[in-house]
Structure formats: structure tokens, C-alpha cells
């Protein structure tokens, strides 16, 4: 276990009695989000009445003693790499960038040496430790082959503030997607829980026993021959959410082979190759976690997706 960097002792009074342990501590201004506190509880760094291994959902009582051992940050093993970053806004607390398709956000199996995190560490010399081991500054993510807007935290306070907004559903995220077929309605809302696929562990599914609620709102922007351009807003941030929901509706994202999206589009004699999933994070809105300013950014379709769209439009004539 890492060396102890800090020790905090809290005595529960009558006002705190009956609260969940994690919620109680999240309100104590310890400098940690609720999810970070849950991780500390899970790892045995928080003891209640002298006992570790307790649950985050434990209901605490008046007079309970809570010992919190905050370990030192794990050393960051990721090395900076000079990766070109399309940064469209930056201040001392955060930055907003356009992630290209094909770039993985953080290191993982098979993607250890060239990720967005590597590029961020080269660009921002003070990012180490932010957000935890291996994921400095990362508050949310986009799939490897999804392009578009992301916000990155540059200090712990900004990270906590943004994470809380994401958890509360206060960050606005709008995507553009090209999907197969024409939808019956002009707009709609999908409220289908998403969890790990029971057989294929690389996939997510609406048929998982342990799915978490997920809400996607969609609207038709343009009808094409055999396809549609959609604007989608997600009220939750589940893994592969839009991809799973649109596939479950029978209109998978073009190019998304994992969820039955075609990798080439055929209409008559025309064949349009589709190299990756046609999904782009086009708009991002949030409140600056330090200044309180309302902020909004928009991103145009990248060249590959715009090219597919234009070729689909040419089929309409």
C-alpha cells in the first residue's frame, strides 16, 4: 500500500446520523468527490468504529468515529508524448479540445504508448496526479473512433467541479450521428438501461441484468436515401450509450460494426466505404467550475464524416 499522506478523524454528531457513509463524507469538504471517497472505502482506507472493509452505503450513527487514511498519490507511469492536440480553449484550470477519431483517450490493453493522456502530459506539465493514476485530467471520455469535443481538468478543484456536474447531469452534450435507415418519428427519447453484454464482454447491451439507467434524446436533422442524420443529447454517460441505443432501435450508427452498423453503404450501383463509426461530439456546454461562467462550444463535422454525408446527399437526387 502507498505511504500515508494524510490522516483525518471525524466524530459523527446528531446532524449526520442516518446518512450514508459516502454521502456524509462527500459533504465534509475533504477535497474528494463521492466516487473518490467510495474508492477509498473500497480500498480499506476509511474505518468506521475502528473497522475497515465497510460499505459505502453504511448508515452512520451519532457518536461514530471515522478514521480516514488518505494515501499518497501513485507515481504516474505514463510518459509525455508530443501528440498534436486541437485545443480550442484553455485557461489555468481546464481546456477544451477536439479529439480526432482513432485516438484512444487513456492507456489500456493494447493502447499503452500513444493516447490523449500522453499528449496532455506533454502539453500541460502540471497535470500529473490530477484525476488519479493513468487518467490525469480525464473527466469524461469518447470512444476511440468517436470524434469531437472533450473538456479536460488541469487541477483537482476543476476536476471535482466538472465531475460533479457530469454526475448531476448538468453538462450538455450533443452529438451528430449518421445512422442506417429512416426513423418513423422525427424525434424521440430512449430510456433503456445499459450494462455489460452477457456474452461478449467487449460490448454493452440493453439486456444486461445489472444495467444502469440511460437516457438518449434524438431528433432527425436530415433524411437521406437509406440513412438519417441525427442530433442526439445524452442525459447519462454510459459506455457506448448512443451506439447501443440506436442499434436497439434498429438504426445502428454507420460504420459501427460492433453494433451491426454497416462498414459500407450500398444504394443501387453506388458503394460508399465507411471507415469508422459516424459519431461526432458536436456541442459541449457546462459551467466553469471555478469562475461560474456558462460556457459553450460547437464543433463542425470532421472531414471524413462530412465526406460520407455529402456522398449520401448526392444519392437523394
Residues designated catalytic:
143
Question: Which three cell numbers mark 290?
Answer: 471555478
Residue labelled with grid coordinates 443501387? 268
**If you write DSSP's letter for every residue of the chain in order, what string do you get?**
-PPEEEEEEEE--GGGTTSBHHHHHHTT--S--HHHHHHHHHTT-EEETTB-S--TT-B--TT-EEEEEEEPPPPP-PPP-----EEEEE-SSEEEEEEPTT--SS-BTTBSSSSHHHHHHHH-TT-TTTTSTT-TTBSS---TT-EEEEEEESSHHHHHHHHHHHHTT-SEEEEEEEEES--SSSEEEEE--BEE-SS-TT-EETT-TT-B--EEEEEEEEEETTEEEEEEEESS--TTHHHHHHHHTT-PBTT-GGGT--SEEEETTEEEE--S--EEEEEEEEE-TTT--EEEEE-PPPHHHHHHHHHHHHHH-
Tell me how far apart the alpha carbons of residues 239 and 244 are, in angstroms, rounded to a whole number: 9
Amino acid at each position: 500500500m502507498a505511504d500515508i499522506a494524510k490522516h483525518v478523524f471525524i466524530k459523527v454528531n446528531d446532524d449526520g446520523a442516518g446518512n450514508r457513509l459516502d454521502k456524509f463524507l462527500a459533504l465534509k469538504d475533504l477535497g474528494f468527490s463521492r466516487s473518490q471517497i467510495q474508492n477509498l472505502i473500497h480500498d480499506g482506507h476509511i474505518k468506521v468504529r475502528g473497522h475497515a472493509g465497510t460499505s459505502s452505503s453504511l448508515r452512520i450513527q451519532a457518536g461514530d468515529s471515522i478514521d480516514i487514511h488518505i494515501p499518497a498519490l501513485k507515481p504516474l507511469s505514463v510518459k509525455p508524448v508530443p501528440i498534436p492536440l486541437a485545443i480550442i480553449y484553455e485557461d489555468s484550470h481546464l481546456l477544451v479540445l477536439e479529439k480526432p477519431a482513432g485516438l484512444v483517450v487513456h492507456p489500456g490493453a493494447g493502447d499503452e504508448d500513444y493516447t490523449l493522456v500522453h499528449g496532455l502530459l506533454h502539453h500541460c506539465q502540471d497535470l500529473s496526479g490530477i484525476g488519479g493514476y493513468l487518467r490525469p485530467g480525464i473527466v469524461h471520455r469518447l470512444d476511440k473512433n468517436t470524434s469531437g469535443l472533450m473538456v479536460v481538468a488541469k487541477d483537482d478543484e476543476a476536476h471535482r467541479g466538472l465531475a460533479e456536474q457530469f454526475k448531476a447531469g448538468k453538462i450538455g452534450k450533443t452529438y451528430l450521428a449518421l445512422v442506417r435507415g429512416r426513423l418513423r418519428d422525427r424525434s424521440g427519447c430512449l430510456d433503456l438501461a445499459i450494462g455489460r453484454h452477457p456474452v461478449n464482454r467487449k460490448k454493452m447491451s440493453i439486456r444486461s441484468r445489472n444495467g444502469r439507467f440511460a437516457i438518449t434524446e434524438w431528433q432527425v436533422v436530415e433524411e437521406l436515401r437509406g440513412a438519417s442524420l441525427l442530433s442526439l443529447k445524452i442525459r447519462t454517460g454510459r459506455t457506448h450509450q448512443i451506439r447501443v441505443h440506436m442499434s436497439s432501435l434498429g438504426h445502428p450508427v454507420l460504420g459501427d460494426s460492433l453494433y451491426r452498423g454497416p462498414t459500407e453503404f450500398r444504394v443501387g450501383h453506388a458503394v460508399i466505404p465507411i471507415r469508422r463509426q459516424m459519431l461526432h461530439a458536436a456541442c459541449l456546454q457546462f459551467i466553469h467550475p471555478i469562475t461560474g461562467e456558462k460556457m459553450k462550444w460547437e464543433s463542425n463535422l470532421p472531414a471524413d464524416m462530412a465526406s460520407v454525408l455529402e456522398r449520401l446527399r448526392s444519392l437523394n437526387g
